């Protein structure tokens, strides 16, 4: 049986085949995401992977809705696997925001599902680091979030030579559209044309823009000018104070596809432009209000960083660590009569927090030692009697004999 296209099998390293994914690399990415989020005082939350279809159809915008995995469940409810986390977060915050001091700073590592055309960097399932700040309208919150985005990528060893954060604002585009005499009913349609400028033929973009009363030339002139709005300038100044200014540049080609964004938007890319976006996000000040049926009104902003493109970039830049097994001690059982005390020692050392392995069934002593080496164990522990053990450091080759009760101390 084959797995479904666009879905992944995660194997422990060393990988048996180039067509499978590394469970160790995934864990490394998750650990790094969590570590940096906590440095910024973000708290972890999660929601259901299956949601009412309606949560996404009214709020996310055409593109993502066209990619939904949706069906009617056995109770005839229309449901969908989550394609993104933001509507779930808005629902959760709206339900219990009074229990939390503002600004709320939360993160999650959901698995998301989108029925996309498969291509480089795009699968039908991915994991996404989501970090969001709710309840603060000041651009200081945008800067804090963008700093977290930059620091997360730096924590993987990426530098300003590897990365660029393209900063933009729908407010700037809103003013451009309004002052250019655009019909406000078509504003989102206009944003979608801008969103696709880099992927579509210029003639086709120009034709679509003209239907809304604009030209590609005017749009390109606005992009090239790239004059920061007041809020974007304050974000740049804030990043400069942190020493992170060089990672960001104003780029109005970024406008984001999702329907709910209202202000500052941004995307993170590799500096050479070889890969698709690593992360994207922005302000969505009306979404909580919309999802709560006008009951709760809170400004919000956030970003999502996918694991797929990130992993491609880390691989290409040689930034992934070597993944070895984590065995601290391998217990050698050469005399089967000593198996019961060996099990006792195994248990004691595991309780003390060591990763311990031993032969499950009788085996020749050279085989046991070979296994300890394959597992890159730090130590072997050979039982000398039912209460003494010979501990050997496999790196320094030092040996000592210790009583069972002292074994853990010697290993520390």
User: What is the C-alpha to C-alpha distance for residues 333 and 360, in angstroms, rounded to an integer?
Assistant: 10
Q: Which residues of 215-230 are buried (b: 16+ CB within 10 A; e: fewer)?
A: ebeebbebbeeeebbe
Residue 175 Cβ, how far from ligand HAM at the closest point, in Å? 22
298 binding ligand HAM? (CB under 6 A): no
Q: How many residues does the chain have?
A: 412
The dihedral built from the CA positions of residue 164, 170, 176 and 180, taken in this order, carries a sign that is positive
User: What is the C-alpha to C-alpha distance for residues 88 and 80, in angstroms, rounded to an integer?
Assistant: 12
Contact string (CB under 6 A) for ligand HAM, positions 158-187, x = contact = ------------------------------
Residue 254 Cβ, how far from ligand HAM at the closest point, in Å? 10
Q: Which residues from 253-282 bind ligand HAM, rule CB under 6 A?
A: 258, 277-281
Residue 163 Cβ, how far from ligand HAM at the closest point, in Å? 13
Residue the block writes with tokens 């979608």: 192
User: What is the C-alpha to C-alpha distance for residues 134 and 149, in angstroms, rounded to an integer?
Assistant: 16
Residue 111 Cβ, how far from ligand HAM at the closest point, in Å? 11
Residue 27 Cβ, how far from ligand HAM at the closest point, in Å? 18
136 binding ligand HAM? (CB under 6 A): no
- Which listed range, 35-43, 49-57, 69-77, 119-127, lies at the site for ligand HAM (CB under 6 A)? 119-127
Q: Both tokens of residue 273?
A: 């432009």
28 closest CA partner among 320, 265, 289: 320
Nearer to ligand HAM, 206 or 267 (CB): 267
Single out the residue of 26, 34, 53, 116 in contact with ligand HAM (rule: CB under 6 A).
Answer: 116
Single out the residue of 79, 123, 141, 327 in contact with ligand HAM (rule: CB under 6 A).
Answer: 123
Q: Both tokens of residue 312?
A: 């491609």
Burial category of 251 from C-beta neighbours within 10 Å (exposed 0-12, middle 13-18, buried 19 and up):
middle
Residue 67 Cβ, how far from ligand HAM at the closest point, in Å? 8
Cβ(96)–Cβ(68) under 8 Å? no
Burial category of 141 from C-beta neighbours within 10 Å (exposed 0-12, middle 13-18, buried 19 and up):
buried
Single out the residue of 61, 103, 139, 306 in contact with ligand HAM (rule: CB under 6 A).
Answer: 306
User: What is the C-alpha to C-alpha distance for residues 250 and 397, in angstroms, rounded to an integer?
Assistant: 57
378 binding ligand HAM? (CB under 6 A): no
Single out the residue of 147, 308, 345, 381 in contact with ligand HAM (rule: CB under 6 A).
Answer: 308
391 binding ligand HAM? (CB under 6 A): no
Single out the residue of 29, 146, 236, 309 in contact with ligand HAM (rule: CB under 6 A).
Answer: 309
402 binding ligand HAM? (CB under 6 A): no
Q: Which residues bind ligand HAM (CB under 6 A)?
A: 84-86, 114, 116, 122-123, 126, 128, 130, 132, 258, 277-281, 302-304, 306, 308-309
């Amino acid at each position: 049986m084959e797995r479904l296209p666009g879905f992944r099998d995660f194997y422990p390293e060393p990988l048996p085949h180039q067509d499978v994914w590394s469970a160790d690399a995934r864990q490394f990415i998750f650990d790094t995401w969590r570590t940096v989020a906590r440095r910024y005082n973000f708290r972890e939350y999660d929601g259901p992977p299956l949601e009412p279809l309606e949560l996404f159809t009214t709020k996310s915008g055409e593109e993502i809705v066209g990619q939904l995995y949706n069906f009617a469940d056995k109770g005839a409810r229309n449901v969908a696997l989550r394609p993104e986390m933001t509507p779930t977060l808005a629902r959760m915050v709206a339900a219990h925001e009074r229990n939390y001091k503002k600004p709320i700073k939360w993160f999650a590592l959901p698995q998301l599902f989108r029925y996309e055309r498969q291509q480089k960097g795009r699968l039908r399932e991915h994991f996404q680091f989501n970090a969001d700040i709710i309840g603060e309208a000041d651009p200081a919150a945008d800067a804090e979030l963008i700093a977290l985005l930059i620091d997360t990528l730096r924590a993987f060893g990426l530098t300003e030579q590897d990365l660029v954060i393209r900063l933009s604002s729908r407010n700037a585009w809103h003013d451009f559209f309004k002052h250019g005499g655009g019909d406000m009913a078509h504003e989102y349609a206009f944003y979608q044309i801008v969103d696709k400028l880099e992927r579509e033929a210029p003639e086709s973009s120009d034709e679509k823009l003209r239907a809304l009363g604009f030209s590609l030339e005017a749009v390109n002139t606005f992009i090239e000018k790239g004059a920061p709005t007041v809020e974007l300038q304050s974000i740049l100044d804030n990043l400069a104070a942190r020493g992170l200014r060089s990672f960001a540049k104003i780029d109005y080609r970024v406008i984001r596809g999702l329907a709910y964004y209202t202000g500052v938007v941004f995307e993170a890319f590799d500096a050479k432009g070889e890969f698709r976006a690593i992360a994207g996000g922005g302000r969505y000040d009306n979404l909580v209000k919309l999802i709560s049926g006008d009951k709760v009104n809170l400004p919000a902003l956030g970003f999502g960083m996918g694991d797929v493109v990130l992993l491609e970039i880390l691989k290409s830049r040689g930034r992934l660590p070597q993944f070895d097994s984590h065995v601290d001690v391998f217990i050698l059982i050469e005399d089967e009569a000593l198996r019961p005390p060996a099990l006792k020692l195994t248990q004691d050392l595991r309780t003390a927090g060591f990763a311990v392995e031993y032969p499950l069934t009788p085996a020749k002593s050279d085989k046991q030692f070979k296994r300890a080496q394959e597992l890159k164990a730090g130590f072997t522990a050979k039982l000398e009697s039912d209460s003494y053990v010979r501990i050997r450091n496999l790196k320094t080759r030092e040996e000592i004999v210790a009583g069972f009760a002292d074994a853990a101390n010697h290993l520390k």
